[in-house]
Structure 1
Amino acid sequence: MKRSAAPARRTAPGIAVTGIGLVTPGGIGTEASWRAVCAGRPAAALDPALPPSDTGVTCRVPGFDGEALLGGRKAHRLDRFTQFALVAATEAVADAGLDPASWDGARVAVVLGCADGGPETVEAQHQVLLRHGPARVSPLLLPMQLPNMLAGQTSIELGATGPNLVVATACASGATAIGIARDLLLLDRCDIALAGGSEAMITPLVMAGFAQMGALSRCAGDPARASRPFDIDRDGFVAGEGSGVLVLERARDARARGARAHALLAGHALSADAHHMTSPHPEGAGAEAALRTALADAGAGPQDVRHVNAHGTSTRLNDLVEAQVLCRVLPHAPLVTSTKGVTGHLLGAAGAVEAAFTVLSVEHSLVPPTAGLATLDPKIHINAATASVPLDIPLAVSNSFGFGGQNAVLAFAAT
């Protein structure tokens, strides 16, 4: 494989993660979500909202009540993917010690990612169209389902009038959004950035599409074992839903206002495989380029990485290719985990949620287990965590890869 040389090292001004908000299959809120992944408690279960089949296993957010959390009128006007984001963003802002009533909204950016938008609303309104005709379709159809409304509604909720956008790089969307938000801060386009992703794609049509591709686990008889990253018996991913939002600020600004930094976003990189619409490059060329460039952007070398939160989808090809990349770039075998063993694959929100888990690992010096991993595939040569491991983590990376060969890697450093 032809490999490009890694860019020369440089050190950019520090970007602090001052707030975290999570809505995941592990629970609502950062504490509940972190506790679930550290316990290695899989969230997968048979989904009563899907037709009975051997691919009807999903990871839903438990007990999510949009009306109770956001108010009935507001919740009725928002698709589930936007509801998740508003709850996560509100928690992140509060965790950062910020007050939207008093901040300069023009200096606050919102950069969020999702892969689809609001398919639940689309499918429901399509049924209305078929049964009752166009006159009965809701005028809220487009405002509810358009992907850009994820950032638009967040800005409305929080009075953030700075740069506002949604990015779509499939399952790398959330991580891509965080990287772009960092760039906006470094370019002085904003002083505060709310960055992350949200997704609610567990619908009959979307799941049928994934099933027809052969992407989903068929382990319906034992849902807790359906998502099993890097395991010899892995047979596909389990779809999840949720949101992760980080508050990012320049480290000097955070220090000036006395804010706590969970960790530093030290570097990031994006790349493309330019290979296939759904399969990764067979040698992981794009993923490797992103990982090497993210480390160079952080002013770090491969030997500095102590922990990797892997993309680790539990699919045959993705896990193998990612593991091969990790062996080539990080031959010292840092501790690897895939939190998808607990949460399933949150699609466009995965990179954001896993970035948050990586930040928490750095902050708490703790690597969560790879739930579902019983027997490591003998073709995979990584140092995989199978239990929670206390570990000092000066630097960690979080990998996210998406359909279309779109790759994003984030590097987080201890404060």
Structure 2
Amino acid sequence: MENDTPTAALETSFDLVARQDKTEQDVKLLRSDVDEVKARLDKVSRAAARPAIGGATEAASVELKGFVDHYLRRGADAEYKSISGATPSEGGFAVPREIDAVISATLKDISPIRALAQVVQVGSAGYRKLVTTGGTASGWVGETAARPETGAPDFAEIAPPSGELYANPAASQAMLDDAAFDLEGWLAQEIALEFAQAEGAAFVNGTGVNQPLGFLSSPTSLAGDAVRPFGTLQYIGSGDAAGFDANPESRLIDLVHTMKSGHRQGASWVMNSSTLALVRKLKTADGAFLWQPGLVEGQPDRLLGYPVVEAEDMPDVAAGTFPIAFGNFRAGYLIAERHATQILRDPYTNKPFVHFYATKRVGGQVLDSAAIKLLKIEA
């Protein structure tokens, strides 16, 4: 019995050592699992943070590479279909999201009205929006008085006219065969430039027939917001049938204050460079310039405290024209577009050049006519 105590103590010591070893092994395994999970999360985070072009996620990179190498360079429909699942039966392949994002960003940089207006993405050819033209009626009553029924608000339907916008850039087969040629960058830039020029003109002067209805093509009136029909833009005269009168600042100030204060927050001037050259020379009665250049790089120049945007599709100063617009275009003009750009490769029409016929459906219309005001050259 005397040897039982040392033996039990020894067994207890062995048991403690074994438990300690097992605990250390468990801790090492747990740390290994944590490190592995952390590494995976870091990899996912780095992939998500990469830019769309030139550093897309792995799946997006495969799709983009397949689109460029198989379809754009060689026109291999079947090979590209197996990679992206696109269907040429709809009139062409959908441009991968990376290229389409670059086109949209470049359009916003080039087309000034697009940068100012409200843009919505639609999935079908038609788009409709209800706009209330009068708020719900209200009234004051006593604590126990009856609550009579209030009048219902009035609504107007906005259905922006739309059309098919297309571009048809071409490249030689030798350029496409050159692996060093940045095909996706060139294609995105060419399509964006063509689209920007066409839609920039349509958002200002579009007829509404197979194209957007430009805000200068909308009905106009001298009447104020309270009595003017919905969808009709208000304008004021310049005071001179050929240009500006002796007090141009008073006309511009009147134009600013015909707009409700809520819309003036975020409003800007829109005119072309020729009109801008005249406006920059305008002075007040005491000799001060109305124009205020931006004091910080990247800050827009201002006129009466509001930024000025150059849109070359605005008319020059001439009798009967509307060379200057002042408005909150995000509230005043709506652009509805189908997001996906379609592209059809055409190597046959103009050999040895390969054409890339790109299409996109775009519509536009004045949304709130109280948010855009015009200056007309008239006495």
Shared fold per TM-score greater than 0.5:
no
Larger relative CO (CA 8 A, sep 6+): 1 or 2?
Answer: 1
Larger Rg over CA atoms: 2
Give the TM-score normalised by structure 2: 0.21
